[in-house]
Structure 1
Amino acid sequence: MIRSLGVASVICLALTACSSGGSAPQQAAGKTELKLYNDKGAWSKYFDEMGSLSKQQIGLSMKPVGYTDEPTYQAFIKASFRTNVKPDLFTWTTGGRLAEIVAQKQVSDTTAIWQEAIKNGDLSADLAKYYTVSGKQYCVPLNAAYWGMFYNKSVFDKYQLKPPATWDELVKVADTLKKNGVTAFYHTSVLFSFVWFEQLLAGTDPDLYDRLSAGQAKYTDPGVVDVMKRWKSMIDAGYFNNPGDKTDPGDVLKTGKAAMVSFGTWFNTSMTQRDMKAGTDYGFFVIPNVNPALPKTSMIFESGPLCSLAKAPDPDASTKYLKWWVSSSAQEKWATARGDVSANPKVAIADQAIAEVSKAAGSGEYRLVNRYFEATPPPVLTAALDGFGAFVVKPDTYQKVLTDIQAAADEYWSTHPQGN
């Protein structure tokens, strides 16, 4: 769960975690290697490959500095605003967290990069809105991802199961697995504790989901309470693993400890790292709506940014790298290595199931819903992550959890204009 850290602790953590950075400011120009600070430590191999490719193609290499603990990572980035230990490039999130650092004038303007990339067909105009703050673009897409359900094919085959087309069919799959002593779904009490809340609400009433994110609905409204009751009933039915289990979800799926894991298409990277083959060892399906009357299936969408500081050690080098990053030559390598989709429309997707989902999403077949982590204002998100984490351990507390989150929402929206 995300917790605040004191300034002294932040700086200490930053310097400890990044001992190679030193305390002296780096040279302002002439860089031939950039450091990319990121919260995706497990992706270091893929970042290294991109660094080698960029050195070949643009004469500018990149070295990743990866974190695996999200609070520590965010603390370091925010500390870099005030210290001489500054990243050349860094990963972040869109939505409220991006708007927050833009308002502090800490992140560089990438409007020109977006305009050129859209003109060249390397980025889509539809994606730009996630990176737009007050009419300007900031950062570029590190990745784009569609959320669905990854499933263990050997488990499904053993019990003669197939990907469900309706919510009722999904429940029948879960019941079958439970009867045979198999845990149906993965969930967790830390960081990704919001996953089932967003999926159930978006699949029940996506308009309510959007209003909630904009402060135009309350967490204590009947529709939200009903979603929590449904979530509770699924936990009570025994469909989920122990939320306190620290086993990596990639290992959970590979071993069949849980038959299904809901994540973005970036989870393909976890499968690739475990030598699992798409279509043979595991599959992917779109999660059906809870409400079958909805005109389109709701699909959670996210795009994570790659950013440069407004006062980067070498602004020209950082900008050069961001321009290269969105090119088709760079994105072909990035997407193929990880087995994921790309923000660049020109890049082909190797995984057939995900390629079909990406094509359908791009053609408007699904209702794309902004991921809860980005859609929710940071102070409300912090309260929600803590609340949902407590709920999955003690489901009977759902009413108190919603009341506590709403208190944080009331405080936030009392000083911020509500979304339209």
Structure 2
Amino acid sequence: MSHRRSTAIAVASVAALGVALAGCSGGSTGESSGETTGTLDFYTDKAAWKPDFESLNVTSEEATDISLKVSGYSDANQYDAFIKQSFRTSQTPGLFTWHTGDSLKELVDQGLVAETTDIWSTAVDEGWVSADLRDSYTFDGAQYCVPMNIAYWVMYYNVGLFEENGVEVPTTWDELNEVAATLSDNGVTPYYQTSQLFTFQWFQHLVASTDPDLYTGLSTGEVSYTDPRIVEIMDIWVDEQDKGWFSDPGSSTDPAVGLRQGDYAMINFGTFFSGNLAGAGAEAGTDYGIFAIPAVNDALPATPVAVESGPLCVAESSPQRDMGLAYSEWWMSPEAQTAWNEAHGDVAFNPQAEVSDPILAELGTAIASDEYMLYDRYFEATPTPILTVALEQFGAFIANPGDPMPYLEAIQAEADAYWADQE
């Protein structure tokens, strides 16, 4: 389960939205009306974000004469089913949130979402978005959808624990290991871990920052999980486990509370975690800081950073197709992303946007430089059947660390079955 599945209360029921969709067909042929201004119907699985989206209407109306009519789902599975069903009606959404990876590819392969290549070309040329991020939205050389938001998977750290133990933010893998060793020697647990849900992030960083091509090969089936290079990387994790560098994986303490109160010094999480820390009473810069995790392989030309991105898509057959694309084009601009950040927080995919949190702003600017390269988070990069097994096996390894081969063999067995079905 990804961060997108952590939304709160529903603002509209499945039944109500289904009736609304069926009842507003109005005899439409499913072709775009050609209108590029007006009220744009927007469906999202981010029900809790409804006020944030609606707050942009003042800005978008002034800039584009478009405002959003937001309908939100809180149950991601029901939302996915609703969106897929809508493609069989004459009233497909003018704009909707979706997911990158296989989920987006499925819609693209069926011709269900509108192409956004021109929008992306302009945004990249204007310096509004990283060319690396475009890769997550590229299929057969064309782009589809635009990023709703992004989250970089980085390291959060307890400022007080770093200061008390005389360690500084590391810039190399060796320095990170020295920090962990010093903290451990002083009785401080270096890293947070859990055997539930978020079990993949240390694996993704170890592999991707050792060899990005090796990481990509896992997602395409060209590399086996039992490849000696993967086993060797897993041995790094085993060694760190043996040194006692990770927290109790079964702890029920909220991870944000745990970091704030010093149960551990560091936690590898998406930048949306800043909101969790604020909710736990932690203050940016005073209680916690953030840094991009150094690469295992310091010979890489740039440090890999995992990115989680949620798309905004336009249905190809929607009567509001042209309006949805017009809004998507505006959404990529610094003006739109500044307004969105003010409403919602987190980092901005557009480096020219103003970010209210100075720590996130500094991080976003740094990662937008040539010193870093983005890669898709393991959750989106991995086909769902393989992911399901991998999350379970990584969790089992975290709970009972030891010889990594049995866990890797279990994942590879599922990978073999999956890729065989794709032939």
**Same-fold call, TM > 0.5?**
yes
Query: Which residue number corresponds to residue 6 of structure 1?
Result: none
Distance 2:254 2:76 in 1: 15
Query: Which residue number corresponds to residue 96 of structure 1?
Result: 102
Moved more, 218-227 or 250-259: 250-259
Residues 305-342 of structure 1 deviation map (CA, whole Å, 9 limit, x = unaligned): 11233344743443343233222221012234444332
Query: Which residue number corresponds to residue 43 of structure 2?
Result: 36
Residues 330-388 of structure 1 deviation map (CA, whole Å, 9 limit, x = unaligned): 10122344443322242244545544443443332124333222322333223322322
Q: Does 1:173 align with 2:182?
A: no
Q: Does 1:290 align with 2:325?
A: no
**Equivalent in 241, 244, 249 of residue 247 of structure 2:** 241
Distance 2:91 2:263 in 1: 42
Q: Where do residues 130-149 of structure 1 align in structure 2 (5 Å cutoff)? A: 130-149=136-155
Whether the aligned pair in 2 keeps the contact of 1:152 and 1:260 (CA below 8 Å) is yes
* RMSD (Å) for aligned C-alpha atoms: 3.5
Q: Where do residues 77-96 of structure 1 align in structure 2 (5 Å cutoff)? A: 77-78=83-84, 80-81=86-87, 88-96=94-102
Distance 1:249 1:51 in 2: 35
Distance 2:210 2:132 in 1: 25
Query: Which residue number corresponds to residue 110 of structure 1?
Result: 116
Query: Which residue number corresponds to residue 28 of structure 2?
Result: none
Q: CA deviation at 1:224?
A: 0.8
SS at match of 1:288: coil
Residues 195-247 of structure 1 deviation map (CA, whole Å, 9 limit, x = unaligned): 01011112333332233233222100111112222223323433223334454
Query: Which residue number corresponds to residue 128 of structure 1?
Result: 134
Q: 1:235 to 1:312 in 2, by over 3 A?
A: farther
Distance 1:231 1:266 in 2: 25
Whether the aligned pair in 2 keeps the contact of 1:250 and 1:270 (CA below 8 Å) is yes
Q: CA deviation at 1:17?
A: 5.0
Whether the aligned pair in 2 keeps the contact of 1:272 and 1:339 (CA below 8 Å) is no
Query: Which residue number corresponds to residue 21 of structure 1?
Result: 17
Distance 1:311 1:275 in 2: 46
Distance 2:325 2:248 in 1: 45
Distance 1:262 1:359 in 2: 19
**Paired amino acid for 1:27:** C
Identity across aligned pairs (percent)?
45
Whether the aligned pair in 1 keeps the contact of 2:12 and 2:71 (CA below 8 Å) is no
Distance 2:171 2:302 in 1: 13
Q: Does 1:63 align with 2:70?
A: yes
Distance 2:299 2:336 in 1: 42
**Paired amino acid for 2:95:** L
**Equivalent in 213, 218, 243 of residue 207 of structure 1:** 213
Q: 1:45 to 1:175 in 2, by over 3 A?
A: farther
Q: Does 1:227 align with 2:233?
A: yes
Q: 1:177 to 1:26 in 2, by over 3 A?
A: farther
Q: 1:86 to 1:191 in 2, by over 3 A?
A: farther
Distance 1:77 1:245 in 2: 37
Where in structure 1 are there 5+ consecutive unaligned residues?
3-13
Distance 1:248 1:337 in 2: 25
SS at match of 1:283: strand
**Paired amino acid for 2:315:** L
Distance 2:41 2:348 in 1: 22
Whether the aligned pair in 2 keeps the contact of 1:109 and 1:137 (CA below 8 Å) is yes
Q: Where do residues 145-160 of structure 1 align in structure 2 (5 Å cutoff)? A: 145-160=151-166
Whether the aligned pair in 1 keeps the contact of 2:40 and 2:94 (CA below 8 Å) is no
Q: 1:129 to 1:271 in 2, by over 3 A?
A: same
**Paired amino acid for 1:63:** V
Distance 1:250 1:386 in 2: 23
Distance 1:266 1:341 in 2: 8
Whether the aligned pair in 2 keeps the contact of 1:26 and 1:313 (CA below 8 Å) is no
Q: Does 1:344 align with 2:350?
A: yes
Residues 91-120 of structure 1 deviation map (CA, whole Å, 9 limit, x = unaligned): 333233211221233323323433454465
SS at match of 2:209: helix
Q: 1:290 to 1:136 in 2, by over 3 A?
A: closer
Q: 1:125 to 1:202 in 2, by over 3 A?
A: closer
Moved more, 189-198 or 44-53: 44-53
Query: Which residue number corresponds to residue 10 of structure 1?
Result: none
Whether the aligned pair in 1 keeps the contact of 2:133 and 2:374 (CA below 8 Å) is no
**Equivalent in 381, 403, 408 of residue 387 of structure 2:** 381
Query: Which residue number corresponds to residue 318 of structure 1?
Result: 324
Distance 1:394 1:141 in 2: 38
